Amino acid sequence: MEKVQDKFLRYVGVWTTSDPESTAAPSTERQKELIELLAKELKQMGIKVKTTPKGVLMATIPSNLPKGQKAPVIGFIAHVDTAPDASGKDIKPQIIPNYNGKDIVLNKAKKIKLSTALFPELKGYKGQTLITTDGTTLLGADDKAGVAEIMCAAEYMVNHPEFKHGTIKIGFTPDEEVGRGVENFSVKDFGADFGYTMDGGAIGELEFENFNAASAKIEVQGCNIHPGYAKGKMVNAIVVMNEALAMLPPKERPEHTEKYQGFFHIVGVSGTVENASANLIIRDHDTAKFNARKRMMLSIQQKMEKKYGKGVVKITVKDQYYNMRKIVEPKYFIVQKAIDAMKKAKVKPKVQPIRGGTDGAMLSFRGLPCPNIFAGGHNFHGKLEYVPIESMEKAVEVILNISEVKI
């Protein structure tokens, strides 16, 4: 069998960055390159595969249980795209064997390093083998580590007929990083009773509750007049935008929040005197607080209208996904199954809320309860991303433990 790290290194070599501005499905055609590669590899294993023109892959490993013995149909899901927050092109992974527990220089020329002072969790991987970036791109462990782990587990099942399991479903999706991961994913066609996204972080993480999420866009229409004659006439869209953003609670930004605390996050601002726009995301685990945050955005528009008149400031808020706890908690046996699988693999489970979202959140509300299991990576979406090989190996073991049926 091929090692999980070899699969991972092959997959990160495929450029799959998604595009939040695109309306195509998938948002970038390059994601299909990895989908096609995965389909080819699954077919070579003898696994039945179906792909769609919109970049979704579904595969089935048939049950090999004795006739008459039944088991739930379990799905494992990961996404092939990488976040547009940092470059995902021409990734050059570095392998750090027998990590010594000290700072890791990723790029000497650019003076970029993984610091144990900034990331003390690094010390916990002393003696293990880490895969890092070269300091110029992200790595893609989010979520190609999850993809590699599912592929490795699938290969094991096919090559070991003595390993007994029910029907196993595999799903790979595009565009998770831009909030459209399951836009064209048919739960009915997938056919699983429940599933797991392999899209979590550090080893042991297990999540069945996530943020409620919305996007917000602020648009300002200014009035550009020659600055020499602007008194009483000019409306500087940049100044108005700054005023609007300043109305958000300064302590309710991501850099000041943790655990169950929600936030407003300004992800992009652009503008001229004539026009300005800003994109934000709104997050909160608590539904009532989430709704209050959305109302706050709209109240900012009302306040700005009173000052500048109608049409100067427009704020649009759109829901993205909701907290899966409402769906998963009544079926807690799914979570317990993952906990038991981790313990069997000698991994300490860390059940915690996701300070983010996964495809599993939207799938849960579509009828496929879908908690999230660690894929092993750290520092997602940036140039300091890394993943321990041993964590990926344990994730493969957890998938197999969840899948195994005793006869």
DSSP state, residue 296: H
Domains of the chain as residue ranges with CATH: 4-210+323-403 (3.40.630.10), 212-321 (3.30.70.360)
Q: Which two tokens stand for residue 326?
A: 């409402």
SS3 302: helix
Choice among 41, 149, 175, 176 that is catalytic:
176
Q: Give the pLDDT confidence score for residue 407 in this predicted structure.
A: 86
Helix H or strand E encompassing 333: helix 333-344
Is 134 known to be catalytic?
no
**Cβ contacts of residue 386 below 8 Å, gap of 6+?**
104, 114, 130, 131, 132, 133, 139, 141, 377, 378, 379
Per-residue model confidence (pLDDT) at position 357: 79
State residue 78's pLDDT score: 97
pLDDT at res. 185:
97
Residue ranges for the chain with pLDDT beneath 70? none
- At which residue do the structure tokens 């991994």 appear? 347
CA 75 to CA 191: how far, in whole Å?
A: 8
Q: Count Cα atoms within 13 angstroms, Cβ side, for 50.
A: 10
| Residue found by looking up tokens 């599993």 in the block | 360
Residue 179: the pLDDT is 84
| Spatial separation of the C-alpha atoms in residues 76 and 79, rounded to whole Å | 11
Is-catalytic flag, 176?
Answer: yes
pLDDT of residue 358: 80
Pairing state between β 205-207 and 386-388: unpaired
Q: Which of 41, 81, 177, 199 is catalytic?
A: 81
* 279-328 pLDDT per residue, tens: 999 999 999 999 999 999 999 999 999 999 999 999 999 998 899 999 99
